[in-house]
C-alpha cells in the first residue's frame, strides 16, 4: 500500500476519533440534518456541535448545503454509514468475547 493512501486513511480515521463526531455521523446516517436538529437530538450546545461539524467538513467526511439561512449537513459518502455499522459489529464481537472470557473465569472460580 502506498504512503499517500495510508496517510489518507490515517487522516480519515482521525476525523472519526471523537465521540461527538461519531454521534453526529450516526445521526447523519439517518438523513440530512441542520445544526439545530443535530444540537437538539444530541442535547449539546451549539458551539460544540458546530466545532465538530467544521472538523468533519474540513476532512471531507460531511458536506453542508445552504437551504435559505440554514445549513443542512449530509454524509459526503454514504459508505460512512456502512463503516459505522461494521465498527459496531466489531465492538459487539469484542464485547461478546470479553463477556465469554469473564463467564469462563467465573465458572472456574465456582
CATH numbers and ranges of domains, the chain = 3-109 (1.10.10.10)
Q: Any idea what DSSP says for residue 59?
A: T
Q: What is the spatial distance between Cα 36 and Cα 49, in angstroms, rounded to a whole number?
A: 9
Across 23-27, 66-70, 104-108, the highest mean pLDDT is recorded for 23-27
Tens digits of per-residue pLDDT, 31-87? 999 999 999 999 987 789 999 999 999 999 999 999 899 999 999 999 999 999 999
Q: Any idea what DSSP says for residue 18?
A: S
Q: Any idea what DSSP says for residue 69?
A: T
Whether the predicted model's global pTM rises above the 0.85 cut: no
Q: What is the mean pLDDT of residues 11-34?
A: 95
Amino acid at each position: 500500500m502506498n504512503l499517500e493512501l495510508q496517510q489518507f486513511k490515517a487522516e480519515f480515521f482521525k476525523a472519526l476519533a471523537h465521540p461527538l463526531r461519531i454521534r453526529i455521523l450516526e445521526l447523519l446516517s439517518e438523513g440530512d440534518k441542520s445544526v439545530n436538529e443535530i444540537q437538539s437530538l444530541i442535547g449539546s450546545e451549539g458551539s460544540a456541535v458546530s466545532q465538530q461539524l467544521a472538523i468533519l467538513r474540513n476532512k471531507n467526511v460531511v458536506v453542508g448545503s445552504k437551504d435559505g439561512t440554514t445549513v443542512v449537513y449530509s454524509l459526503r459518502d454514504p459508505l460512512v454509514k456502512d463503516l459505522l455499522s461494521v465498527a459496531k459489529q466489531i465492538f459487539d464481537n469484542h464485547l461478546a468475547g470479553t463477556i465469554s472470557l469473564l463467564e469462563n473465569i467465573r465458572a472456574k472460580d465456582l
